[in-house]
Structure 1
Amino acid sequence: MNTIAAYTKFEILGAIRIPMVFVALLFLPTVGMLLFVVPALGDDPVAATLSTGSMCLFTVLIICSAQYGLGIADARMKPWGGYVRTLPGGPLPKMVSMIVMSSVFVVAGSIPLIGIAVIGTEATASFLDIVLGLGALVLAVVPFSLLMLAIGYAVNPYLVSVITSIAPIILAYLGGLFTDPNSTGGFTANVSPFIPTRGSAELVWAAIGDYTPNALSMVMLGVWTVVLAFLAYRAYRSDEGKRFR
């Protein structure tokens, strides 16, 4: 526990030193709220509530891309990153500290979006709904952190920034985060149940509004989580073999 606490303290201090990084991470979700949710769906209480959840999940995608994808790639290129991996305790303390930091970022990053929804839309959600929604967002960190870990360890570090820059937008689009959550037709609606983003989104929507998750989306989310966990583990072990053999 002392090792996990030390790693977590290190992550928090690193984030505090560069606060503008956090502001930059919130730029796209905030623009999405102001340009899509407020003018197009703001007058519909149900659609505005669910779409606010979508933009909060978009924040999760961006945070995971930056912290896990870019963070791991950056550590692979620096001597300090290699040294940290030789310390006692293995990868668990580092992973736990990153999850804690991601959860803090997700909760903090959702607050401005919720504020925009309260001021600029007819969104309705009780305090308990918001708490449950934030819990669902924290759970969503798991599959997307695994995805970005796999990318961060498996891909050339110089290419990771390109992939992690476009991956959140592609995942959000294919998962239906940029459309009305109640839409039942079109290309995105037919493809989205097979994308992990959709399953996570439906958990958030169910937490904050009157929405019943699709069984296929839930099954695929579970399958994706298992597959991504395996890929992340294999990528980590492969990179470890290359660096420390």
Structure 2
Amino acid sequence: MKMTLAYVKFEILEAVRIPAVFIGLLFMPAGGMLVFVVPTLGDDPRAATMGTASMCLFAVLIICSAQYGMGIADARMKPWGGYVRTLPGGPVPRMVSMVTLSMLMTLLGAIPLVLVAAVATRADASLPELLLGMGAVLLAVIPFALLMLAIGYAVNPYLVATLTSIAPLVLVVLGGLLADPRSTDGFIAVIAPYTPVRGSAELVWAAVGGYTPQPTSLIAQGVWTLALAFLAYRAYRADEGRRFR
């Protein structure tokens, strides 16, 4: 536990050293709210609430993409990143600390989204629903973070930035976050329940919009989380072997 807390402190201090990067990440989804949600869904309370929830998930994907994908690729190419890998504790405390930082950034990133929804739309959610929805968003950090960790350590560092930049947009589209959650027709509705994001999205929608999660989506989410945890761990160890043997 002490080792994990030390890594958490390290991650926070490292992030605070370059605040401009993270400030941009935190406010980028709010720009998406102003462009996509406010003009099209702002007058419908239920749709605006669900749209805001989807944008919170998009914020998680953006944060994880930058923190794990591009951040890890940069660290793999610099001496400091190699030195950090030699510190005691192994991959688990390091990964837990990175996920913890993502959760803290997600809380900060949700603030401008909620403010935009409150001021510019008719989104309607009670305080208990808001808190429950935020808890579901924080849970969504785990599979998204594991996905980006796996990409960050498994792929050539020069290709990681490209893949992790494209991945959030692909997952948002295939997961049906930009479509009507209750749609049962079309290509997206068929494949969305089996994507790594749909189960998390349905939990958030259920918390704030009265949506009923589908068992298929939740089971697929659990399978994806376990599989991505294994892949992230193996990718970390494989990269470690390539660099230090």
Taking structure 1 as the reference length, the TM-score comes to 0.95
CA shift for structure 1 position 27 = 4.5
2:213 — aligned with what? Answer: 213
C-alpha displacement of 1:60: 0.5
SS at match of 1:211: coil
Which residue of the partner structure matches residue 169 of structure 1?
169
* Distance in 1 (alpha carbons) for counterparts of 2:75 and 2:222: 29
- 1:69 corresponds in structure 2 to 69
CA distance in 1 between counterparts of 2:229 and 2:88 reads 23
Q: Paired residue for 1:151? A: 151
Q: Give the distance between the partners of 1:134 and 1:211, measured in 2 at CA.
A: 15
Secondary structure at the aligned position of 1:196 is classed as coil
Unaligned runs of 5+ in 1: none
Bigger shift: residues 109-118 or 126-135: 126-135
Alignment of 1:78-227 (within 5 A): 78-227=78-227
Q: In the TM superposition, what whole-angstrom CA distance separates every residue of 1:78-116 from its partner, at most 9, and x where no partner exists? A: 111111121122122222211111000001101100111
CA RMSD in angstroms comes to 1.4
Consecutive unaligned residues in structure 2, runs of 5 or more? none
Aligned partners of 1:161, 1:120: CA distance in 2, in Å?
A: 33
Q: State the partner residue of 2:55.
A: 55
What is the SS of the residue equivalent to 2:213? Answer: coil
Q: C-alpha offsets along residues 128-184 of structure 1, whole Å, 9 cap, x if unaligned?
A: 111111111111111111111111111000110111111111111111111232333
**What code does the residue aligned with 2:151 have?**
I
| Count of residue pairs brought into register by the alignment | 245
Deviates more, 1:168-177 or 1:187-196: 187-196
Mapped contact 1:70–1:160 kept (Cα < 8 A):
yes
Q: What is the aligned partner in structure 1 of residue 10 from structure 2?
A: 10
1:29 aligns to 2:15 (yes or no): no
Asked if 1:20 is matched to 2:20, the reply is yes
Q: Secondary structure at the match of 1:22?
A: helix
1:243 paired with 2:240, answer: no
Kindly state the Cα deviation for residue 217 of structure 1 after the two structures are TM-superposed: 0.7
Q: Give aligned-pair identity as a percent.
A: 67
Taking structure 2 as the reference length, what is the TM-score of the superposition? 0.95
8 Å Cα contact 2:63-2:102 kept in structure 1 = yes
Query: Residue type of the partner of 2:153?
Result: Y
Where 2:124 maps in the other structure, the secondary structure is: coil
Secondary structure of residue in 1 paired with 2:197:
helix
